[in-house]
Structure 1
């Protein structure tokens, strides 16, 4: 239930949805030393009634000798969740339902979500913001959006790096994703448009990045006392310089092989904060892009300059199995801070630094 005091018992947590990220979060809650799985909501009717451990692949030796089953059966009824004496919901559906979120909050359930609608209240739709804040006030609860990107790399890391600056001229956050071993033909070729001739390629999908990453950059700027004047989003692509075979299929020379989205926050007519995502299926491109292994690079131009690389030291064949942890784990680790926060939409600036409780 909504409270500002830390409980003298494990945090009772509900997992909402069991997609790629949700299933990973569910596994971490089951094995967490200071959390107890209180409930599980699922979207698919064929998952209803199944034990939580079955839906996230938990094995006995992975969770410190826990029983093969958790005793928590999945439901697709919101009312079942509202009846639980829980502290927090890890809300991770494919689409955000404002009515669901408000009912959870108003009932006394705090919410940590990997949905991106709640990173910065001032950037939210005014009606949604009012509804959510009213629900938080009614339930004495808080809600927080987080994850790896946006979240960790666009908020937590920039704020830490800025803590050694007294003048910030520019900060650029680069995200790289090597998709060459991603065996998802529909995602890469149909949804993202890789492998198409330039004349057939509609455009890099830029608008879906404006809200989440724009909110994060604006939030960081607010925290630094340097509010942004505007946020611009641009997209570009590069083609393969030769035909290559990737896990999803053949990529012909001259077809789209890399895409880049750049979100830039401007102040006083000059760029101040920039997030740039580069997704690629091969490094052999027709353009001289800085294409690096999967991970992040942050460059800070200020009176204490920094240039930091963070790569994922994981074989490409295991990346799909490991990468969900970067998003799911931060959300799980945020539960205590969100449960202890004052009611309302709580941002990275409002919460203390997220600390992982590992024992």
Structure 2
């Protein structure tokens, strides 16, 4: 069994605790939390498992890493604290742990990663013998392994589009929804995640990774953004009221330009209520969210994936599948050589030993 620490118990961390508990090759060795109110509480309670698992949450990073952790799921956010997240991850890799995380966007594509992110990780690998694999929580598999798999079914490929279509009204992370993305803010508000060049910073690595896998040379990576106001005030179950006239929907694209044309596109369509921007793409059947890959070519192929977790909450389902990709890679990474890995290195494997497992 591989002793595994989950670092953080938010949306991603809760799913990570459940995934580690369910994995036959892993054992939950610790849970790290930031909030003093969570210290000492059982991980099963924090993760919504409905039962205790005998692991108490702690805020003592040194003790958690020194207790023999072979792997770390770093589930703390890096959105507003990329330098701190990098420091945390480097600390764990230097301690000899295999680390998996969605927090370090620049490392989605290890070949094109900026030196200020890549070099400290490689130095930690050399010093401590750990490893790092980064994959997105949006989720990453929908922007790398799935489109690449589907592309291999066609005769010709003209373009690949990866879509996340998401209703934020069910998302349990109000600060991100209102301030990072700007839902419910005046239209003149400039959300940090939508500022010029930020979408490319976050998703450009996935564009480069797909291009590398397809042997395509990128001319450039560009982006576009559209925002719509709410036509009427709406109230959500998790975050309360969003006023008419404030931002209610966002649509942006990060585009890989090949031969002068956008050939690889990552597109996000997000709303706080289905009534906003009804002419934009929507989840099938009026659901909360979906991930779609469209391969334009011969034949034209379209695949839509929906996932639900924590009841019927499809927003949590997206997190859970992203976490599943990361956690299910841990045993492979433990057996592999120490290093920095990305989605083209780490195989997506069957859920061996987990059929019918609670």
**Corresponding residue of 1:280:** 271
Offset, 1:83: 1.8
**Corresponding residue of 2:59:** 76
Count of residue pairs brought into register by the alignment: 341
Following the alignment from structure 2 to structure 1, what is the Cα–Cα distance between the partners of residues 15 and 308? 19
Q: How does 1:280-319 map to 2 (within 5 A)?
A: 280-285=271-276, 288-292=279-283, 293=287, 294-312=289-307, 318-319=313-314
TM-score, normalised with respect to structure 2: 0.83
1:346 paired residue among 334, 341, 347? 341
Q: Secondary structure at the match of 1:174?
A: strand
Following the alignment from structure 1 to structure 2, what is the Cα–Cα distance between the partners of residues 12 and 245? 43
Q: How does 1:119-138 map to 2 (within 5 A)?
A: 119-138=108-127
**Structure 1 portions without partners, runs of 5+:** 1-9, 61-67
**Corresponding residue of 2:95:** 107
1:217 paired residue among 207, 216, 221? 207
Offset, 1:316: 9.5
TM-score, normalised with respect to structure 1: 0.83
Please list the CA deviations of residues 228-260 of structure 1 after superposition, one character each: whole Å capped at 9, or x if unmatched. Answer: 222112211123445555444555555432111
Q: How does 1:331-342 map to 2 (within 5 A)?
A: 331-342=326-337
**Corresponding residue of 1:90:** 73
Following the alignment from structure 1 to structure 2, what is the Cα–Cα distance between the partners of residues 313 and 22? 16
Following the alignment from structure 2 to structure 1, what is the Cα–Cα distance between the partners of residues 323 and 206? 18
Please list the CA deviations of residues 70-94 of structure 1 after superposition, one character each: whole Å capped at 9, or x if unmatched. Answer: 2x33332332133222321111112
Contact 1:82 1:107 in 2 (8 A): yes
Contact 2:77 2:85 in 1 (8 A): no
Following the alignment from structure 1 to structure 2, what is the Cα–Cα distance between the partners of residues 100 and 253? 41
**Corresponding residue of 1:4:** none
1:163 paired residue among 145, 148, 152? 152
Q: How does 1:27-106 map to 2 (within 5 A)?
A: 27-60=18-51, 68-70=52-54, 72-95=55-78, 96-106=84-94
Contact 2:228 2:277 in 1 (8 A): yes
Contact 2:9 2:33 in 1 (8 A): yes
Following the alignment from structure 2 to structure 1, what is the Cα–Cα distance between the partners of residues 18 and 57? 14
Contact 2:142 2:292 in 1 (8 A): no
Following the alignment from structure 2 to structure 1, what is the Cα–Cα distance between the partners of residues 39 and 297? 53
**Corresponding residue of 2:258:** 267
Contact 1:168 1:301 in 2 (8 A): yes
**Corresponding residue of 2:81:** none
Q: Secondary structure at the match of 1:121?
A: coil
Offset, 1:57: 3.1
Offset, 1:128: 2.6
Following the alignment from structure 1 to structure 2, what is the Cα–Cα distance between the partners of residues 239 and 334? 41
**Which protein shows a greater Rg?**
1
